[in-house]
Amino acid sequence: MRVTVNGADHTLTCDGGRRLSRVLREDLGLTGTKIGCDAGDCGACTVLMDGRQVCACLVPAAHADGTAITTVEGLAEEDGRLSALQRAFHRHGAAQCGICTPGMLIAAHDLLTRELHPSVRQVQDALGGVLCRCTGYQKIVEAVLDVTSNAPDPALPDSGAAVGARVARLDGTDKLNGRDLYGDDQRPADALWLRIVRSPHAFAHFELGDSEAWTRATPGVAAVLTAADIPGANSFGIYPTLKDQPVLAEGFVRYRGEAVAIVAFETRIAGETTDLASFPVAWTAHDAVVGIDAGLHADAPRLHDDSPGNVLIRGRVACGDVDTALASAAHVISGDFRTGFVEHAYIEPESGWARRAGDRVELRVSTQTPYMDRDEVAHVLGLDQERVRVIPSAVGGGFGGKLDQSVQLPLAVAAWVLNRPVAMLYTRPESMAATTKRHPSRISAKLGIDAEGVLQALSFHGDFDTGAYASWGPTVAGRVPVHAPGPYRLPHVTATSAAVYTNGPPSGAFRGFGVPQAAIATEMLMDQAADRVGLDRLEFRLRNALRAGDRTATGQVIEASVGLAACLEQLKPHWQRYLDEAATANRTSGPLRTGVGIGCMWYGCGNTALANPSIMRLGLRADGRLTLYNGAVDIGQGTYTIMAQIAADALGAPLDRVTQVFGDTDRTADAGKTSASRQTFVSGKASELAGTDLRTQVLRHTNAGEDAELVFEDGGVFVIEAGRRRAIDLSALPANEEGDVMTGEGTFDPPTQPLDADGQGVPYATYAFAAQIALVRVDTELGTVTVEKMVAAHDVGRAVNPTLVEGQIHGGIAQGLGLALMEEYLPGRTENLHDYLIPTFGDMPQIECLLIEDPEPLGPYGAKGIGEPALVPTAPAILGAIRHATGVVCRQVPVLPHRLRAWIKAGDAEAAE
Amino acid sequence: MAAYFQPRNLQDALSAMNDGRWTVLAGGTDHFPARVTHVPDESLLDVTAVPELRGISHSETGIRIGAATTWTDLVEAALPAACAGLTAAAREVGGIQIQNRGTIGGNVCNASPAADGIPALLSLDAQIELASLSGHRTLPLSDFVIGNRTTTARPDELLVALHLPATALTGQGAFVKLGARRYLVISIVMVAGTLDLADDGTIETARIAIGACSAVALRMTALEAALIGARPAEALERLDTSHFAGLSPIEDPRGDPAYRNDAALTLTRRCLARLAEAA
Ligand SMILES: Cc1cc2nc3c(=O)[nH]c(=O)nc-3n(C[C@H](O)[C@H](O)[C@H](O)COP(=O)(O)OP(=O)(O)OC[C@H]3O[C@@H](n4cnc5c(N)ncnc54)[C@H](O)[C@@H]3O)c2cc1C
Ligand code: FES
Ligand code: FES
C-alpha cells in the first residue's frame, strides 16, 4: 500500500486488516498517535485521513491506501516551531499528562480548517470524540478559541520570581509535538511481547493444563511463565506486612481478571492475534462474594486466612462523648449512603518494557511510584534493591491507579527469567478488570446540632469494599475516620471504618483515599442540618468552619493555614447569584428544575501519621549549568515544572538554567510517591531546601554574605555583592559522577505524630481546605442532570503555578462529576470505555476558580497540596444542588438517570399521600 | 496471512460473498471494537469502494441511500424535512470520528438494539435492498432486522442500499435520544417520528419508532392509529400508556425496564411536541 503521511510518501507491506494506528506507530515509528482503547471510545488515536478526523484504531491499514494522513507529528511549522494551535495549548495549560493531546490537537485542527472562529459549542462538537481524564476540558476549549489571537508564548519569569508565575509546563513541548515517550512508545524492536492469562471468574480454583502442547500449537509463543517460574517471592502489596497478592495465582483466584500465567510472544503481532481463551486452564468456579454486605455476612467464606470475618483492618477516631452529645442535641440528622467501584480510566493503559542488564534489571514503565516499584521488583526477583533500576516513562494519567503494581512485575519476571527485553501494554478491558478501583462504600452517619446551628456531635461508620487484596485498603481505613468530621469544629466525634475483603477487583488508591465517599455522606447531612435549623447552607458551614487555633477530632491544634472561612467568604456573592438564578428559573413550571449546592472539604497532605520523606538534589557544574535530580514523578499535574520553579527561586537562578534528571531510581533520590497531594508540599519543600543548600554552599565557597546575589550565565557563575560583580571559579572543584561540582540536597519529612487507639495524635502536618458550589438543572421527567456552572474556592497555601492549580481543579471537578453522576464499574459489565462512562466535553460545567492563599509555614513558599482536594467537594456540591432542585436526598452514587427518576417518583408518591 | 479485498464493482463483491469466506467490513466502527482483546485471522471484504453502495440519490420513487454512506455524508446531504430525524440521529452517533467512518448500512447490519439509525429509518418506512449473485431482493427494514444482532440476510447477501419511499418523505421528521452523557453515548432510549398532515391540518399519517426498549426497534402502530385525525397540538392528549404495550425493555447498567418504559413515554411526548412545532 502507498500512503502519504505528514507529506511524506511511504510504500508499505502489511496485513490489510491491521489497525492504521499500529501501522503508524510500529511501522513508521510515529508514536504520537496513541492507543487508549482500540475501540473508538477515547479518540487518543485520532488522525486526519484526507482531511477528516478518524480514529486510527478503527481504520484497516488497506483502507488508508492512497490517502493522505496527518498525525500530531505533522502539525508543527515547517521549521519545527510549534503551530499556533499547539502554542495556544501550551499557553493555556491545555495538556496535562498529554496522552489525549495528539487526538485533541488533530480534532481541533480539523475544526479550524473548516471554521477559524468557532463557537464554544462548535469546539465541543468537533472535539467531543476525544476523552481527557486530566483537564476537565475547559482549558482545551479556551485554547482552541484563542488560537487566532496568536498571543506570544508566556515569558519565563525573572530570577527569583518563578514561584507564583503562570509558567507554561517546562516539559510541555514534547507533549504537543508527539515526541514525549509514554509506556508503549519506546520498546526495543527485539522485545518479546507479553500477555497475561487472566481469570474469567471472580472466585475459582483452577488447574493449568498442558501449556507445552499449547505453546507448540500456537504460532509465535516464545515461553509461558507460571507461579513456579518466579525467582523470589510470589507476592506483592503496598504494606510490607501485607503482601497478600500473588504475581501469578497458584491454584486459586479471588477476582475476575487475576493473573494466572504470562505468555511471551516472539512479536507483538503474534501476541495481538492470539486468543488467550485457548490457553489450557481448567476452572472450578465458586459463588463469588460480591459487595460489602456479602463480605461481612456470617456465612461468607473467609477469603484470607489472616482476616476472620473478612475484615482486613479497622480505623477509629474518637473524642468527647458522642452518645451524650447526640442525646442532648436539639436536632439529629442521620442517613445511610452508598458508592460503587470507580475506575481511574487514565487514557494511557498500563505499559512499559524491561530488560536484564547483567546482574541488574531495568524497567521503563508508566508509574507514579518508581521507588516502590523498585522495591517490589526486588522482592519478587529476590534481588537487592540496588540491582533494580526503574525509569518512569511519560505517564498518561495516574490518579492513584499507577501507585500499584501492574505491568512492572510480569515485565521484571519475564525479562529476568528469559533474559530478553520484554514489553507489554494492557488492553483497555484488561486495564479495567485487573487493576485497582476506588473503594465502594457503605456509610452510616448521625450529626447532632444545637438550636443555634452549632455542630455538637458526629457518629460515623464507613465500610469499604477493599476487594480481593489489601492494596491501599489500610490507607483508606485510616484516612477516612480522620476526615469524617469534615472541615468543621466538632467537639464530640466517633468515626470508625472497616476495610472488607470481597471477590471484587482490588480497591486501591484513587484521588482522595476514601475521603470523597465520606464527604458525600457528611455533606448531605450538613445540608439537611442547615435546613432543619433554618440557616442558609453556606452560612451554616461558615458558622462551624475550622479556624486557625482550633482542635480537630484527633486532638491536633491546627495553628495556621486554615482557609475554609476565607473560601466561604469569597464564595458568598457567587452563592447568592446562583440562588437568585435558580429562584428565577424555577418560577417557570415544567420538567426542568434548577438547584444550587455547596460542598466543603479538608484534606491532610501526605501519609497519615507515617513518615514520608522526600529528598531532592540540585547539582551545579563548573560551567554554571544546573541540574535538578527530581524523583517526584509528573503524572500530568506538573511536578516537573513546580519543583524547578521552587528550586530555582530558592537558589536565586533563572528557571531556564535548570535542566532535569527525572525520576530515574539510579540517578535521583527518593522523592516518595506521587500521591496523597504530597508532592508540592513535601517534595516541593525538599526542592526549596536543596536550592537554599546549594546557595549556601556557593556563597560559602566565595566567602560572600547571605544577601549576595548569584548570577548564572553561560560563561559561569557570578556573585554580586555591594555592587561588585565577581566571577566564581568552580574549575578547581572535583566533579562527582554526574559531573556536578556542588550538590545542594534537601530532605523534608512533614512532622506528624502517631495516632493512638482512639485516633488521637497529629496525622498530618498540614491540611488543604476548599469549598465548591454548583448550579445544576434536573430534567425531572427523565432523571438527567446537567451541571451548568461551578465556582471552586481552594486554599492552596500558595499557588506555585496558578495555571497548573486551575488545571488540577478543573480535572478534579471532572472526576467528581463522574463520581456523582455517571461512573460505576461493574466487573464483567462495564469493562470498556463505552459502557463505563466518564465525562466528555459536553458534560462539564463552566468553572471559575478562586485561589485562596493562606500560607502554610511548613510548606515551600507557603504551598500545600491540590491534587485530591480538587475532587472531594464536587460530588457533595452536585448532590446538594440536585436536592435543592428536586427535594431528593441522593443516597447512592452515581445518580444515574434511572435512579434519580425512581427517587423523584417515590418522592412525588410520598408527597401525594 | 489474512486476505484483504476491496472490490471496485458490485459483481466482484458479490462473487466474493459467494465464496463464504469473507467478513464484510464497511466503516469498521463496529468491527474493530469487537476485536480488542485479540484480532482473529480472517479475510476482510471492504465494501466501501463499490459504487452501488455509495451516495444518496433522489428519484420520483424516493431516496436511495447506498449502504456504505457515512453518517457525515448524511449530515452534509440536502434532504427533505421528513429526514430531519435521520439527520439528527446521524449527528448523535458517536463523535465526529465515528460519523466520518461509520456507515448506515453497517449500523443496520450490526443490528444492535441501541442502533440510532434503525428507529429513524423505521419512521421513514425504509426498504432494504440486498444483493447476491442470484439477484436483488427488497424487503421492509422490519423484516430484515429481526432480533438482537440478527438479520435475515443470507450469508452470500450484501446490503446494497436503503430506500426511503416517496410516500414517507412528504412530512416532518424528528429524533430524540436519551443517553447518560453528552457525547459518545449509547442510547438508553430513542424515539424517531414523522408526521404527515392532511389539507385540513389534521394528522394523516404518523410513524413513530422506539429503540433500545426491545430486541429490535419497534413502530408504535397503536399510537400511530390513535393520532390520525388529531391536530398536531392535540397529539399529546391522545397518548396512552397502552400504546407502548409492545415494548419489552431489559435491565442493563444503563437503565431498568421501568425506567425505559417511563422514558420512552416522555421521549415520545417530546418527539411529538417537536413534530407539532415543526409541522
Ligand atoms: C465510539 C463509538 C461510538 C458509537 N456510537 C454510536 C451511537 O451513538 N449510535 C449508534 O447507533 N452506533 C454507534 N456506534 C456504532 C457504529 O458506529 C455504528 O453502528 C456504525 O454505523 C456501523 O457502521 P460501520 O460502517 O462502521 O460498520 P462495520 O463495523 O464496518 O460493520 C458492522 C457490521 O455490519 C456488517 N456490514 C457492514 N456493511 C455491510 C453491508 N453493506 N452488507 C452486509 N453486511 C455489512 C459487517 O460485516 C459487520 O458485521 C458507535 C461506535 C463507536 C466505536
Ligand atoms: S485508541 Fe482509538 S479511540 Fe481509543
Ligand atoms: S491531559 Fe488529557 S488525558 Fe491527560
> For residues B257 and B251, what is the distance between their CA atoms, to the nearest angstrom?
6
Amino acid at A645: Q
**A533-586 confidence digits (pLDDT tens):** 999 999 999 999 999 999 999 999 999 999 999 999 999 999 999 999 999 999
Whether ipTM exceeds 0.95? yes
**How many interface pairs between A and B have CB atoms less than 8 angstroms apart?**
172
Interchain pair B72, A830: CB under 8 A: no
Q: Is B7's C-beta closer than 6 angstroms to any atom of ligand 1?
A: no
Give the global pTM: 0.98
Among B82, B87, B84, B74, residue whose Cα is nearest residue B166:
B82
Among A880, A810, A794, residue whose Cα is nearest residue A844:
A810
Among A491, A174, A190, residue whose Cα is nearest residue A326:
A491
Q: Is A98 left (phi over 0), alpha (psi -120 to 50) or beta?
A: left
pLDDT band with cut points at 50, 70 and 90 for residue A18: very high
Q: Which residues of chain B does A37 touch, with a Cβ-Cβ cutoff of 8 Å?
A: 36
Q: Which CATH class is domain B171-278?
A: alpha beta
| pLDDT tens across the length of chain B (279 residues) | 579 999 999 999 999 999 999 999 999 999 999 999 999 999 999 999 999 999 999 999 999 999 999 999 999 999 999 999 999 999 999 999 999 999 999 999 999 999 999 999 999 999 999 999 999 999 999 999 999 999 999 999 999 999 999 999 999 999 999 999 999 999 999 999 999 999 999 999 999 999 999 999 999 999 999 999 999 989 999 999 999 999 999 999 999 999 999 999 999 999 999 999 987
Amino acid at A902: A
**A15 near B CB under 8 A:** yes
Name the minimum distance, in Å, from the CA of A825 to any CA of chain B. 10
Predicted pLDDT of residue A675: 78
Least distant ligand from the CA of B157: 1
> For residues B210 and B123, what is the distance between their CA atoms, to the nearest angstrom?
9
Predicted pLDDT of residue A150: 86
| CA A428 / ligand 2 centre spacing (Å) | 10
> For residues A3 and A6, what is the distance between their CA atoms, to the nearest angstrom?
10
**A665-690 confidence digits (pLDDT tens):** 999 999 888 777 898 999 999 999 99
Question: Whose C-alpha lies nearest to ligand 1, atom 39?
Answer: B106
- Taking CA–CA distances from A21, the nearest residue in chain B reads B32
Predicted pLDDT of residue A153: 86
Q: Which residues of chain A does B46 touch, with a Cβ-Cβ cutoff of 8 Å?
A: 16, 60, 62-63
Ligand 2 neighbours by CB, cut-off 6 Å? A 35-38, 40-45, 55, 57
| CA A395 / ligand 3 centre spacing (Å) | 10
From the number of C-beta atoms within 10 Å of its C-beta (0-12, 13-18, 19+), residue A639 rates as: buried
> For residues A408 and A803, what is the distance between their CA atoms, to the nearest angstrom?
33
What residue spans of A718-801 are helical by DSSP H?
Answer: none
Question: Whose C-alpha lies nearest to ligand 3, atom 2?
Answer: A132
Name the minimum distance, in Å, from the CA of B161 to any CA of chain A. 21
Bigger pLDDT: A827 or A713? A827
> For residues B80 and B63, what is the distance between their CA atoms, to the nearest angstrom?
10
A507 neighbors A440 (Cβ within 8 angstroms):
yes
Amino acid at A595: G
> For residues A872 and A860, what is the distance between their CA atoms, to the nearest angstrom?
24
What residue spans of A29-168 are helical by DSSP H?
Answer: 84-92, 101-114, 120-127, 138-145
Of the residues A31, A55, A71, which should be mutated to test ligand 2's pocket, given the most ligand atoms within 8 Å of the CB?
Answer: A55
**A62 near B CB under 8 A:** yes
Minimal Cβ distance to B32: which of A58, A824, A839? A58
Name the minimum distance, in Å, from the CA of A276 to any CA of chain B. 8
Minimal Cβ distance to A837: which of B25, B181, B262? B181
Provide the pairing of β-strand A626-630 with A331-339. Answer: unpaired
Name the minimum distance, in Å, from the CA of A161 to any CA of chain B. 42
Name the minimum distance, in Å, from the CA of B14 to any CA of chain A. 19
410-429 in chain A: CB under 8 A from chain B? 427-429
Among A434, A427, A377, A381, residue whose Cα is nearest residue A249:
A434
Predicted pLDDT of residue B91: 97
> For residues B235 and B212, what is the distance between their CA atoms, to the nearest angstrom?
23
Best mutation site among A42, A55, A843 for testing chain B: the one with the most B CBs within 10 Å? A55
Give the angle A525-A544-A455 at the CA atoms, nearest 5°. Answer: 55
| CA A779 / ligand 1 centre spacing (Å) | 31
Interchain pair B98, A37: CB under 8 A: no
Bond into A308 cis (ω within 30): no
| N-term to C-term CA, chain A | 72
Interchain pair A52, B72: CB under 8 A: yes
> For residues A864 and A770, what is the distance between their CA atoms, to the nearest angstrom?
12
Interchain pair A126, B98: CB under 8 A: no
A400 neighbors A473 (Cβ within 8 angstroms):
no
A819 neighbors A108 (Cβ within 8 angstroms):
no
- Domains of chain A in start order, with CATH, are 1-174 (3.10.20.30), 192-287+347-434 (3.30.365.10), 441-607+757-912 (3.30.365.10), 614-748 (3.30.365.10)
The C-alpha cell that represents A192 in the structure block = 518479546
| CA B46 / ligand 1 centre spacing (Å) | 13
Interchain pair B32, A430: CB under 8 A: no
**A278-304 confidence digits (pLDDT tens):** 999 999 999 999 999 999 999 999 999
Interchain pair A782, B178: CB under 8 A: yes
Structural domain boundaries in chain B: 171-278
Minimal Cβ distance to A40: which of B44, B94, B262? B94
Secondary structure in 3-state letters for chain B? CCCEECCCCHHHHHHHHHHCCEEEECCCCCCHHHHCCCCCCCEEEECCCCHHHCCEEEECCEEEEECCCEHHHHHHCCCCHHHHHHHHHHHHCCCHHHHHHCEHHHHHHHCCCCCCHHHHHHCCCCEEEEEECCEEEEEEHHHHEEECCEECCCCCCEEEEEEEEHHHCCCEEEEEEECCCCCCCCCCEEEEEEEEECCCCCEEEEEEEEECCCCCCEECHHHHHHHCCCCHHHHHHHCCHHHHCCCCCCCECCECHHHHHHHHHHHHHHHHHHHHHHC
| CA A132 / ligand 3 centre spacing (Å) | 5
**A841-884 confidence digits (pLDDT tens):** 999 999 999 999 999 999 999 999 888 999 999 999 999 999 99
